Homo-oligomer: A and B are copies of this chain.
């Protein structure tokens, strides 16, 4: 997606060989028109998949999930990250390890909003090691819902998550795939490369 790649080039900050900060349009400030185009693009790529729900993780997934769900005319649900203070039988929960922060968070979603009748599109802002995606897939599995695919705004192609998920047969669509962040420079992966 050209507009997204341009934004990444113009406004992204490469903090290290594995960390890209895009706080100006996705992770802190939000560019609403870009979110709309992202939503339309995902809705197009997953049209005719019978999706009944878009599942994301708070907080950065919410704006693109809202726009994707709006175009698909289905509800969005955001899994919560914070540890629940009270035990709650009415939640599906999974653990997500963050390699960047070296922390493990519990994510959860209410049993009211993910059921065996749902066909779920998982959406997240970044795909790196795939931990968040697998945590969300775990919630979908527990609910008995089926997984239509995974929509990713920015994939770090140099990390393992995307390959691992695709090897499992999951339909993953990423709008920008980064090949490298070396030398403080963003290089995108091109399909042509594999011809």
Count A-side interface residues using an 8 Å CB cutoff: 31
- A33: Cβ under 8 A from any B Cβ: yes
- CB pair B76 A113 closer than 8 Å: no
Chain B residues contacting A62 (CB-CB under 8 Å) are: 30, 59, 62-63, 66
Residue of B33, B70, B80 near A32 (CB, 8 A) is B70
Known: A33-B70, A33-B73, A36-B70. A28 touches B63 (CB 8 A): no
State the CA gap A63–B32 with chains docked (Å): 10
- Binary contact track A23-36/B, C-beta < 8 Å → 1, others 0: 11100111111011
* A107 in contact (CB, < 8 A): no
Instruction: Chain B residues near A75: list those with CB within 8 A.
Output: 25, 29-32
Cβ of A58 within 8 Å of any chain B Cβ, yes or no, is yes
Closest to A57 in B: B59
Interface pair A30/B78, CB less than 8 Å apart: yes
Which B residue sits closest to A76, measured CB to CB? B30
A80: B residues at CB distance < 8 A? 28, 59
When the two chains form their complex, are residues B70 and A24 in contact, meaning their CB atoms are under 8 A apart?
Answer: no
Q: Which of B24, B67, B69 contacts A112 (CB 8 A)?
A: B24
Inter-subunit contact B78/A112 (CB<8 Å): no
Q: Does A77 interact with chain B (Cβ within 8 Å)?
A: yes
A42-66 interface with B by 8 A CB criterion: 58-59, 62-63, 65-66
* 97-152 of chain A: CB within 8 A of chain B: 109-110, 112-113
Contacting pair A113 B29 (CB below 8 A): yes
Q: Are B63 and A66 in contact (CB under 8 A)?
A: yes
Other-chain residue from B23, B32, B76, B110 in contact with A69 (beta carbon distance below 8 A): B32
User: What residues of chain B lie closer than 8 Å to A28, measured between beta carbons?
Assistant: 77-78, 80, 109-110, 113
Please name the 9 residue pairs, one residue from A and one from B, whose CB atoms are nearest each other, closest first.
Answer: A32-B70, A58-B59, A62-B62, A32-B69, A30-B76, A29-B113, A63-B66, A59-B59, A29-B77
